[in-house]
Structures are given as structure tokens and as C-alpha cells.
Amino acid sequence: RHDMSATESIPTRELAERAKAITQRELQVYIGRTKGSQAATERAREVLPMGVPSSFQAYDPHPIVVRRAQDGWMEDVDGHRYVDFDMGYGALFSGHCHPAVRRAVETQMDNGTLFVTPCEMNAEVAELLRDRYNLPMWRFTNSGTEATMDAIRVARGVTGREKIVKVEGGYHGHHDEVMISMKPPISEAGPADSPRAIPSTAGITRAVLQDTGVIPYNNLEPLDRALSGRDVACFIVEPIMENIGICKPLPGYLEGVREITRKYGTMLIFDEVKTGITAGWGGATGVVGVQPDLVALAKSIGGGLPLGAFGGTSECMDQITAGKVLHLGTYNGNPLCMAAAKAVLTEICTPAATDEAIARNRMLLDACDGIIAAAGLPAHTVQFGAKGCVTWAPEPIQNYRDYKATDFDLAFAQWMHGINRGILLPPGLDEQWLISVVPTDHDALRYADVFGEFVAELTA
């Protein structure tokens, strides 16, 4: 489909200059076509800091303000349609308002939205997660943040230890102990193999900072060093990092992580908020075949409703059974979210539908690979399950430092160019697309068409 003969390679600096010129032009186009979003944002800024409900949603000059979404598309207040590749930061593997989610939620509405006493679906959904993740006991939360927060507390309870260790560049939600070294400035971050822990926000106490150790991904020696004092409760990690594009483990890395955490009696928490059910039917845990002590889930399990969960070994979860670790929440396991999750886990994201979405994603990645190869660009694609990304670097990245060395001028120009042509990617340049179980091949490939137009202009 694409001419594979590499065109004469254009120096990277020249590409970055061209990218900046594209960004400048597209920014003007964006301002011209999103007057409604601009007005809505200006109004919102009067009453909401940055005019948004979560600071991740803010970008310059103003974000797209959306009025409706269905299946694989969204429509903004100016009436423009976008093929949605962001899909709620990966929360919408079922697509927007899947008919089965709608049916389940509407049926539940007839029977009530909140009981604060159990419903039968609590056990049903927990059984479905147990079967996928091979962990026996579960509890529900309302977000990924709560899921990682509670999993960490359980790990502290079961070990009687206070310290935790996380990966530099890793995101695990917005509670204090993990809002450390999320995206630290390299100039302050210290040596690559023993990074400094840097708070990512004001409001983190020194005590919390002292209790959180930070290590690089894909490097076992610093992990061994960090855990060797036998005073670390847990190592929390995304098995495949999905907040710096997609960063995969080197062969043997996760097996090594399991061995080292076990050696020192440290609980291993897999944060599968993003990889859960999108990586494959059994999440990243199923794909990599390494069993953690605790798993944190959220996003796609809720089918668009706010639902998180964490599961663990009997040893871990007995902490809650015994009343040593308290796990609470008014909205935990509410019947509306349970009904949605049950539809997602049984009717929608079946093994076959999951595999089909992953195959459709492969097709899109192949199309992008062809474009990159034909143009001889310093870029490559990465796939993990139904997610994918273009990373603007010649070689795969292995950690946060590699990610910081990728070309953000090119990435931003591509994002800006796409949005003006109806392709909505996540705004942070650090996320990835999700191919849901819903869109047709045509919609998925639309990304490659627009990407091809961008590359043609860049290399003309």
C-alpha cells in the first residue's frame, strides 16, 4: 500500500523546524474553528481553575469542549466530529455508551442507584475479575487513584512496613505517596540509576517524600538495592508503562522484579488501571505471565462509569477481612457501576471481541509502520494489546529518561495537525490510542490516513 523505499533522510533538526511551522499554522486554524470551545472555556475559567475539572484536561489555547459522544466519536460544541482515539484516557474499551452498558444501567435505574448495603452483583463482578486476574479476593473503589491508594495500604498492613518504591515517570493517580517523580525535570532528577524523589505537586509533606523511593524502569539492580533493607512494603509498577507512550519491559525484567520483591518480602503491586482488559482478556498480568500480590484496576472495567477495583492474594486481602486494614467508601460497589461492569466483562469485552480489537489495532500499526519506513522518519510504533502509539525516536524507549529524549516538537505538531482533521488523540503526548471493540476498520485506519498526510507535508 505504501512505497517502502526510504526517501532521502531529512536531518532531525530540519524536521523539528518544519514541525514547529506546522504547529504554528495549525494553531491558528484551531483557534479559528473552535470559537465555541473558547467561549465555554473562558466562562469556565471564572469558576474552575484552568477552566477544567481535572488539570490533565487543560491545554493551550483552550481544550475542545464536547457536547456529545457515541461509539467511537465525539462532537464538540462547534459541531465538529472527531474519531476518538483518546477514549477517555483508555477508559472506553467498550466505546462511548455501548448499547449493552446503556441497557444494563437503564435497567438498574429502575431498581435504584445506591443502596450502601450489598447487592448481589458485588460478588458477581468480583468473580469475573478473579477469573481474569487469578487473584482470589477483590474490593471496589470509584477511581484508579483509590485503587492504588488502597492497594498500597493493604501492602503496608500485611508487611508492617512503611516505605514504598515506585518507578521514575510512573503515574498511579493523585494521592500523595505516588505523586512523586511523575514527570520530574531531568535537571533536578539526579543520576539515571539512582533518581532523586521529586514531589510533582505542592502539598506533599517531607514525611511522605521520605517514605517513597524512586527507581528507573527496566533496571533490576536499583530495585534490588532499594529493597535490600527489607523495610519496603511494596513496589508499585505498571507492568507495561502507559504514561510515557508505551514502554515495554525488557525480556526477563518482570520475572526479575517478581524474584527480587519475593526475596525481600516486598509486595508487588501491578497498576493495571490502563492495561487492565485492554492488553488482553486477562490484562497485562495474563500477557506477561507474572503474578503480582495485588492488582489495581479502573478505567475500562467500568464501561464509562466511575469504577475502580483492587484484588489480591488471600494473605493480602485477609488484612481487610481481619479488620486490620480498613477499606471504606460510600459509593463502593454501587449497583449502577456494578451493572455497567457486568455488561463490560461478560457481554462486551469477551475474549473474541478483545482479540478482534487487538487485530484491528495491529492493522492500524502496520499502516503507520509503512508510512514511517517509506519516509525514513526517526520514529517507530509500539503496540500493547488494543493500544498503540507513535514514538518520535528511532529506537524503542526503555524508561522515563529515554522518553524525555524523544522529539516533542514532532509529537506536538502531529497532535495539532490531527485534531484539525478530526483525529482526537490524548493531549499530553504521553498517552496512547485505544482501539475500542466498537469502531469499524475504516475509523481505525482514518488515523493512518491523516498521519500519512502529516508525514507527507513534513517530508515534502
CB of 347 to ligand PMP, least distance (A): 23
**DSSP state, 211?**
H
Q: Please state, as a whole number, how many other Cβ atoms lie within 10 Å of the Cβ of residue 64.
A: 23
Considering the rule CB under 6 A, would residue 86 count as an interface residue with ligand PMP? Answer: no
Strands laid side by side in the 73-76 sheet: 66-70, 73-76, 81-84, 423-424
Q: Contacting ligand PMP (CB under 6 A), which of 144, 169, 213, 311?
A: 144
- Residue 261 or 278 having the CB closest to ligand PMP: 278
Spatial distance between the Cα atoms of 246 and 402, rounded to a whole number of angstroms? 12
Coil, strand, or helix at residue 430? coil
Q: Are 278 and 90 in contact (CB under 8 A)?
A: yes
Amino acid identity of 213?
Answer: G
What CA dihedral angle connects 208, 214, 220 and 226, to 10 degrees? -40
Which of 163, 183, 248, 299 does the annotation list as catalytic? Answer: 299
- 271, 402, 407, 443: which one is catalytic? 271
| Residue 382 to residue 245: CA distance in whole angstroms | 8
**Sequence-separated (6 or more) residues with CB below 8 Å from residue 447:** 83, 85, 364, 368, 418, 423, 433
Are 72 and 439 a contacting pair, CB within 8 Å? Answer: yes
Footprint of ligand PMP on 223-242 (CB under 6 A): 238
Q: Does 141 bind ligand PMP (CB under 6 A)?
A: no
For ligand PMP, which residue of 95, 169, 173, 452 counts as binding (CB under 6 A)? 173
Does residue 143 bind ligand PMP (CB under 6 A)?
yes
171 binds ligand PMP (CB under 6 A): yes
Which position among 171, 253, 400, 447 bears the catalytic label?
171
Which of 41, 148, 334, 414: binder of ligand PMP (CB under 6 A)? 148
Copy the grid coordinates of residue 428: 499530553
By CB under 6 A, residue 89 contacts ligand PMP = yes
Q: Does 297 bind ligand PMP (CB under 6 A)?
A: no
Cα-to-chain-centroid distance, residue 200:
18
| Known catalytic membership, residue 271 | yes
Which amino acid, one-letter code, is at 404? K
For residue 213, state whether it binds ligand PMP (rule: CB under 6 A).
no
Which residues from 45-84 bind ligand PMP, rule CB under 6 A?
none
Give how far the C-alpha of residue 411 lies from the chain's centroid of Cα atoms, to the nearest Å: 18
The yes-or-no answer on residue 183 being catalytic is: no
Q: Which of 62, 161, 172, 248 binds ligand PMP (CB under 6 A)?
A: 172
Cβ neighbour number for residue 289 with a 10 Å cutoff:
10
Joined grid coordinates for residue 284? 497485562
The verdict on 273 binding ligand PMP (CB under 6 A) reads yes
Q: Does 274 bind ligand PMP (CB under 6 A)?
A: yes
Site string for ligand PMP, 362-401 (x = CB under 6 A): ----------------------------------------
Closest approach of ligand PMP to the CB of residue 326, in Å = 20
- Contact stretch for ligand PMP (CB under 6 A) within 23-31, 142-150, 220-228, 353-361: 142-150
447 noted as active-site residue: no
Output the residue with the shortest Cβ distance to ligand PMP: 144
Q: How far is the CB of 199 from ligand PMP (least distance, A)?
A: 18
402 makes contact with ligand PMP (CB under 6 A): no
Q: What angle do CA 272, 278, 284 make, to 5 degrees?
A: 45
What radius of gyration do the chain's Cα atoms show? 22
Query: Judged by CB under 6 A, does residue 447 bind ligand PMP?
Result: no
| Contact (Cβ atoms closer than 8 angstroms) between residue 269 and residue 151 | yes
> Which range touches ligand PMP (CB under 6 A), out of 140-148, 156-164, 333-341, 346-354?
140-148
363, exposed or middle or buried, with CB in 10 Å at 0-12, 13-18, 19+?
middle
The catalytic site residues sit at 171, 271, 299
Interface positions with ligand PMP (CB under 6 A): 89, 143-145, 148, 171-173, 238, 243, 271, 273-274, 298
